[in-house]
Amino acid sequence: MPSASPQRTPRDTRTLITVNALPLAIGVLLSCSTSLGEISVYGRLTLGMAWALAQLAVLIGATCWYENRAASGGTW
């Protein structure tokens, strides 16, 4: 009987961490300079807020990819 536990490979885990660490590192750099985060992108939307939304989208997308890959046995 096959195991019901998801099969995650170390490569998948490294990919997930890398994809999420890069936007996080840029977000930390943006948070160090208030003048960069205050730049208006569109209307009242600032660069800091736009980056936070982009980072959230990357996190959700990468997590969905990771879970789908693990549920399929790690092969695509």
Question: Would you say residue 4 lies in a domain?
Answer: no
Question: Is the predicted pLDDT of residue 5 greater than 80, yes or no?
Answer: no
Question: Would you say residue 1 lies in a domain?
Answer: no
Question: Would you say residue 34 lies in a domain?
Answer: yes
Higher pLDDT, 75 or 35: 35
Task: Give the span between the Cα atoms of 60 and 20, in whole angstroms.
Answer: 10
Write the CA distances from 62 to 37, 39, 65, integer angstroms. Answer: 24, 27, 5
pTM of this structure? 0.69
* Neighbour tally for 66: CB within 10 Å: 19
Question: Which of 32, 31, 49 minimizes the C-alpha distance to 40?
Answer: 49
Question: Would you say residue 3 lies in a domain?
Answer: no
* Neighbour tally for 30: CB within 10 Å: 17
Query: pLDDT tens digit string along 22-44?
Result: 888 888 888 888 888 888 999 99
Chain length of the chain: 76
The parent domain of residue 30 ranges over 10-71
Structural domains counted in the chain: 1
Question: Would you say residue 2 lies in a domain?
Answer: no
